[in-house]
Amino acid sequence: MSKLKEIRTKLNLTQEELADKSGISVRTIQRIESGIEPKGQTLKLLAKALGIEEKELLEKEDTHIKINSTLIKIINLSSLPFTLIPPANIVIPLVIMFAKKQFDPLAKQIISIQILWFIIAFIIFMLSSFMKNWFSLGSKFILVVMILLVLSNVLIILRNSAEIDKKGKLFFRLSFSLI
């Protein structure tokens, strides 16, 4: 079932009713429901008529992707033991993803989050070492920053794991993928 047909049937609209509401011909709606991707003005008119965002009509069906939630949790939780060694919290899940050929969007999101966390943590750590010198902060300042960074990563990993259990998706997710 196409995304348009799925949304249209949820709203209890016939193709003719949607055509009247959107100003698009029934034939065009039939083509889109058969697999043609809507573009330009057609996409805008359909989204407006259905009361949704345009990107929702362009999303691919999730029914084709079989998600192995156990493997996704393993990929996510494999970062946990390596939170003290930041590059490993990226490499280990990446190795598991490639070894198990688990290239679905959730696995890529988990690794993207770890890459982004690593970049941000590195920047914060470097800034904190400069701040320690600039503001004559105590020697424990950097240790506190490191502990907070590690705890933030542990929180991200555990919260995502809980959300995978409950809803089969991530709590912390990006609108883009780094891999």
Picking from 106, 121, 110, 112, the residue whose alpha carbon sits closest to that of residue 152 is 121
The size of the chain, in residues, is 179
Q: What's the pLDDT band for 159 if we cut at 50, 70, 90?
A: very high
Q: What's the pLDDT score for residue 65?
A: 47
Using CA atoms, how far apart are residues 117 and 114, in angstroms rounded to an integer?
5
Position 63 scores a pLDDT of 42
Question: Model pTM?
Answer: 0.61
Taking only the tens place, the pLDDT of each residue in 125-139 is 999 988 888 888 877
pLDDT value at residue 165: 86
The rounded distance, in Å, linking the Cα atoms of 152 and 62 is: 31
Q: Give yes or no for a contact between 179 and 97, defined as CB atoms under 8 angstroms apart.
A: no
Is 18:8 a contact under the CB 8 Å cutoff? Answer: yes
User: Which residue ranges form the domains of the chain, and what is each CATH number?
Assistant: 3-58 (1.10.260.40), 69-167 (no CATH)
92 or 102: whose pLDDT is higher? 92
